[in-house]
Amino acid sequence: MFKLTTDDIAGQPLAWIVYLGVVAKRDDWVKTIHRADRCDLTLFRLGSDLLEHFLNQSLPIPVRFVMPHLAESVR
């Protein structure tokens, strides 16, 4: 049986913000929310900035957060 702890629940919003940072890089939002010539921000900061942009522009926010399937072992 899987049991969620408060640490699991508290970490989910942080992981979602990092996921938004990945979305920003993957879907080429970085040039819209940051400098076009280079980007030295963390995924967390990119995600936070992307969320702010979506809210300011009344754009739909990707709320579906799915962890990728990982191999059973990394060895």
- pTM, to two decimals: 0.69
Max CA distance (Å), the chain: 49
Interhelix angle 43-56/6-26, rounded to 10 degrees, is: 80
Answer whether 2's CB lies under 8 Å from 32's CB. Answer: no
Give the model confidence (pLDDT) of 41-60 as tens digits: 899 999 999 999 999 999 99
Q: 53 with 60: CB under 8 angstroms? A: no
Whether residue 18 has pLDDT greater than 70: yes
CA neighbor of 14 nearest in space, from 59, 50, 47: 47
